[in-house]
Amino acid sequence: MTLSLDPLASRRVPARILQLLLAAPLVLGFAQAPLKAATPADEALYKSIVSDPSRSDEDRKMDETRKPLEFLEFTGVEPGMRVLDLSAGAGYTSELLAHAVGPGGHVFAQVEEAKAPIKARLGAMTNVTIAERAPGDPVPLGARPLDLITIVLAYHDITYMAVDRKEMNRYLFDALKPGGMLVVIDHSARPGSGAADGKTLHRVDQGLVKKELTEAGFLLVGESNAWRNPDDPRDHAFFDTKIATDRFAMRFMKPLDSPS
């Protein structure tokens, strides 16, 4: 299979990195190659996190559609990393990331208001900060520089909030170290629909997300088909359908030649 790299990326990524991207094999259905494939040590860590017997039955039920192993592999999260989980909800994703970064790393779980479920899940974890921040200004004080930012099933919500997304995305860009990654996974809307279905169907057009993040300076360096469902007509909200929603997954990088 031939790799096609985003034209914007070809102008912004150093030549050696381009060579690595074009030479790298496809992994886990990535439409474009990640910068670094998971090592055996990474894989062992991810599998131990997902199979941990202390995880709840509710989490294991969520695993069916959230696919935590594929998620950890796609993010490339490693021990020692500093991570921001945007719109962390009840903390499902933040907890996975916290176990992956370990005691030498830190996860900032951003929510507008910390409610009981996320406090119960994450409150005792010493490498997690529950950060009460507005979505438009989500980066906590002291969090920079970040290695990774995740936005899981939340970008569609931000589209109908009173948020300047252009400004928000620049905040995220500035908070990452050069070479840092931003991963977005969300319920797919119909192509060309933009943000029209954000509030009603809780979906967002993948093309809109890609456009907004590349305009902020990010490079699209990878995609995954792990959460795709071609049988989803994309005309119902995730809570109003009996099948798994079609979900896109994109991995963006802050260019290596960006100012720190």
Domain boundaries, the chain: 78-143, 145-260
* 145-260 homologous superfamily: Vaccinia Virus protein VP39 (3.40.50.150)
> So what CATH class is 78-143?
alpha beta
Per-residue pLDDT of the chain (260 residues; tens, 9 = 90+): 233 444 444 444 444 344 444 444 333 444 444 456 789 999 999 999 999 999 999 999 999 999 999 999 999 999 999 999 999 999 999 999 999 999 999 999 999 999 999 999 999 999 999 999 999 999 999 999 999 999 999 999 999 999 999 999 999 999 999 999 999 999 999 999 999 999 999 999 999 999 999 999 999 999 999 999 999 999 999 888 889 999 999 999 999 999 87
- Tell me if domain 78-143 and domain 145-260 are identical in fold: yes
pLDDT for residue 35: 55
Count of other CB atoms within 10 angstroms of residue 17: 19
pTM, two decimals, is: 0.86
pLDDT for residue 240: 85
3-state helix, strand, coil in the chain (%, to 5): 35, 20, 45
- Whether a cis peptide bond, with omega within 30° of 0, leads into 34 is no
Q: d(Cα 74, Cα 2) in Å, to the nearest integer?
A: 20
Count of other CB atoms within 10 angstroms of residue 111: 22
pLDDT for residue 150: 98
